[in-house]
Amino acid sequence: MVESGGWCESRLVDAGTVKIVFCGLGVEQRIDKCVLPNGLVVLGEPMPGVESVAFEFLLPGGAAWMPPGYGGAANVISEWVFRGAGKWNSRQLGDALDGLGVQRSSSIGSAHIYLGGALESSNLAPALALYADVILEPHLTDEQFEPARQLIVEELQSMDDEPRQKVMIELRKRFYPDPLGRSNMGELDELQSLTAPKVRELVGAYRDVQQTILAIAGKYDFEAVCRQIESVFGPHQPQPLSAIGLGAKGPAYTHIPNEGAQVHIGLMTPTARFAEEAYYNARTAVSVLSGGMSARLFTEVREKRGLCYAIGARYHSLREAAGIACYAGTSPDKAQETYDVILAEFHRLAEGISAEEMVRAQIGLKSSVILQSESSSSRASAIGSDHYMLGRVRALDEIKRKIEATSVESVLGFLRRNPFREFTVVTVGPREIRT
Amino acid sequence: MEFKHKTLANGLVLIGEVNPPAKSAAVGYFVRTGARDETLDVNGVSHFLEHMLFKGTDRLQASQVNEAFDSRGAQFNAFTSEEQTVYYASVLPEYLQDITALWGELMRPALREDDFTVEKNVIKEEIAMYQDTPTFDVIDRCRSLHFGTHPCGHSVLGTVESIDGLTAAQMRAYFARRYAPNNLVVACAGSFDWDRFCGVVEAAAGAWPRQEVGRSLSDFQGTMQKARADKANLKREHICLMHTGVSAQDPRRYAAALLGMIVGDDYGSRFYWDLVDKALAEEASMHFGPMDGTGLFYCYLRCATRNAPRVLSIVDGILRDLVRAGIAEDELVKAKNKVLSALVLKNELPMGRLGDLGSNWMYLGEYRSIEQEVDAVKAVTTDEVNRLIHEIHLDRYTQYTLGPAVSA
């Protein structure tokens, strides 16, 4: 037991696994961690009272790691590997996953291909076995390549009809130094030039067990998971990836014409990275700006002026760089005013923050950390991401304490040392704006 | 989990499912009103009114309302559908009483003229935003086509014209007709104290007068018409099909949900293997939409214009084949596993549980435990699904397409 408000961290080493028990404020949280002899990291967080389990494999080879000319290849791979693996053809594999009731999720990040699932916990072992087949023994047949590639082409082309999503994809592409912000859907010409042999070669090159992370949350037997993963993932064959070289950022302003009903405005400005000491000050600043309906952007843009329905800013971080990304959608005749008001709010932030705003920002952040911790899928993603970004998993209590440690002075100090100078702006719609 | 229930003298119903180990609680005020309860001259008023509730009361300004929610770290919002307006929040247990009281207070809004004028612009921006979201737009248009003059065809958002023409006085009259305590259910799920929760709601709402309130309930089989509209900025074909379904009260609703999954789940469905797997359509889904006294199925298809005729022909073939030969036993087993898995995952979160809790009471006037729902899904037979396919005429549907201008 620890005293109320106290803090402890204990490590129990058992058969090669480490159980890290965090306890503070009367809440105990356990993180299981095991580095298999082949280097694969397995992380787990047991959640008492749930019958489900969620898991996520973080595989090296995200959008930023694709070689030049291979934009969209990671997405094609994530589609292609499910089209037959191990002893299963495409149909049998789909049927087997459905038979286990797996809620599938695949996505492509800057650094990783994420393959995940959520299901009732008693089916975890057979589900992991199917995912191991997908990762280690995909058939990658010529016959299945074309529909896999074509589906990603279709997905990319559909973005032209979704300006709200398109503006943020184009924004991220220009904000981060190339290749960090590359779109997971790639570029049409590059997608069209991909061939089965070229992409097959990539799959081999990026299959690096040592850089693979498996994160699990919910109801599971950690020893059994580690044994199973070790038996199927086998010995390590290093496939060292060369470091990515960072290129230039995109232009400060880009307008993409679209004869739609609104101008969709995206803007992004640099801030502290996830791994930096100043991270919590950056998060709190974003919360003051856009943490809730009483926050500044919603109040000034929507409540007082009625300029927008959708308006908000979010913190976004990669390991290498981070930014505050803001979106607003508004009618063409209000687009300039909307942009001007948003920009003024960014600049006004460093001028002062009231004690009440600070309290609301902190409570909002702490509350969302706890509310998200009830979902097994959120926790699996969070522990995998923490490990990749920081090399360790943060306890919920640590996050709470660090949010509480921020103050008006610390946030203003951070903002004054790091003023918002540089904005990347993209608009999609019938009218340009002046930036 | 323990179910609790209480009805106040004025007809307001309180329900709760107490789950002490949960880390949070979710509270919702479910009002039995939506676009189908509007007349066309005030179309969009239910949704606009939902926005106006956040503008405060005689005691609270809008900024104070927002600050009150945010200072308690509440994750809160509201939505309006054809037949419900729901206000909800997810909070840490220590703030539940405050947030429940706040929602209760907001249920008697000031509806100030100046707030109404500013918010009108926000509503029109929301309409514009959805015009730029063809996935939403095509389903909305298809619903209007499918229901014809039936009130379930009313648009939730209304039109720029109906919103422009709406007055605050009309909104006040609509509010007075629909937000009666006997037309409301207040639900709570997660970690909370039932008696304290009841005390808070009673203090807020106990004095509201009961009044006559109703809804015209009539089933509707759909117009089965076909239409297409062009939009200059679109690059893809967005197609919505609507079928007659069964109502939220109908015992066949479990078979209907499973049928939707067999035909059009994201993975592993008939649509998936014949359309998405072959990259003919990027998305092809079918969902069951149970409603009050009626119901529908809707399919959404997105593809290149050049593929649209083939996609539609394949869809038609799949539906006709189901009418002719029915589903296979193993399809039902897989669909059940997926439905049950989704049910377990959703109900682990108080916020997920709240939706089912409130909806079951709104539609059925009864509590359904997760175990009852699981058993009802497990009990569905192949014969029941096959009978349903015939009863709803799966090969007959309304069709709306939104796409780029096509040269003749």
Mean pLDDT calculated for residue range B303-313:
97
Residues B65 and B174 reside in one and the same domain: yes
Looking at the fold, whether B84 and B160 belong to one and the same domain comes out as yes
Please determine, for residue A7, whether its predicted confidence score (pLDDT) is greater than 90. Answer: no
pLDDT digit string, tens, across residues B21-73: 999 999 999 999 999 999 999 999 999 999 999 999 999 999 999 999 999 99
Cβ–Cβ gap B129/A97 under 8 Å: no
Map out the domains of chain A as residue ranges. Answer: 36-233, 253-429
Residues from chain B contacting residue A158 (CB–CB below 8 Å): 235-236, 282-283, 302
- Indicate whether B201 and B265 sit together in one domain: no
Q: What are the DSSP calls for B107-157, one per residue? A: TS----HHHHHHHHHHHHHHHHHHHT-HHHHHHHHHHHHHHTTSGGGS-SS
C-beta atoms of A367 and B278 within 8 A: no
| Domain total in chain B | 2
Check if the beta carbon of residue B32 is closer than 8 Å to that of residue B362.
Answer: yes
Q: Are residues B248 and B383 in the same domain?
A: yes
CA distance B98 to chain A (A): 15
Please report the DSSP string for A362-419 in residue order: HHHHHHHHHHHTT-HHHHHHHHHHHHHHHSSPPPHHHHHHHHHT--HHHHHHHHHHS-
CATH number for position B115: 3.30.830.10
Distance to chain B for A286, nearest Cα, Å: 14
Q: Is B328 helix (H, G, I), strand (E, B) or coil?
A: coil
d(CA A9, CA B60): 45
Q: Same domain, yes or no, for B237 and B281?
A: yes
Q: B277 in a domain, yes or no? A: yes
**Whole-complex ipTM:** 0.93
CA distance A432 to chain B (A): 16
Q: Which of A164, A293, A370 would best serve as a mutation to test chain B binding (most B beta carbons within 10 A)?
A: A293
Tokens of B2: 């323990």
Higher local confidence (pLDDT), A410 or B406? A410
> Cβ–Cβ of A359/B92 closer than 8 Å?
no
Would B221 be classed as within a structural domain? Answer: no
In this structure, the answer to whether residues B200 and B248 fall within a common structural domain is no
The CATH number of the domain covering residues in A253-429: 3.30.830.10
Q: Is residue B211 part of a domain?
A: no
Q: Which residues of B touch A48 (CB under 8 A)?
A: 21
B183 and B302 share a domain? no
Whether residue B72 is found in the same domain as residue B200: yes
Residues 139-198 on B with a CB inside 8 Å of A are: none
Phi, psi angles (nearest 5°) of residue A20: -100, 120
Tell me, yes or no, whether B231 and B197 share the same domain. Answer: no
Same domain, B319 and B395: yes
**Domain shared by B262 and B159, yes or no:** no
Is residue B194 domain-shared with residue B247, that is, in the same domain?
no
Question: Which amino acid is present at B259?
Answer: L
* B349 interfaces chain A, CB cutoff of 8 Å: yes
Structure tokens at A164: 């709200």
A64: tokens are 């930023």
Gap from B300 CA to chain A (nearest CA, Å): 14
Question: pLDDT digit string (tens) for B228-285?
Answer: 999 999 999 999 999 999 999 999 999 999 999 999 999 999 999 999 999 999 999 9
Q: Is the pTM of the predicted complex or chain greater than 0.90? A: yes
Would you say residue A67 has pLDDT above 60?
yes
Establish if B217 belongs to a structural domain: no
Q: Please determine whether the domains at A36-233 and A253-429 fall in the same fold group of CATH.
A: yes
Domain termination residue (choose one: B148, B172, B205): B205
Whole domain around residue B146: which residue ranges? 2-205
Residues of B in contact with A99 (CB under 8 A): 333-334, 337
Determine, yes or no, domain membership for B159. yes
Q: Which of B250, B287, B280 is nearest to B384 (CA)?
A: B250
> Residue A49: pLDDT band by 50, 70, 90 thresholds?
confident
Where does A36-233 sit in CATH, by number? 3.30.830.10
Residue B166 lies in a domain: yes
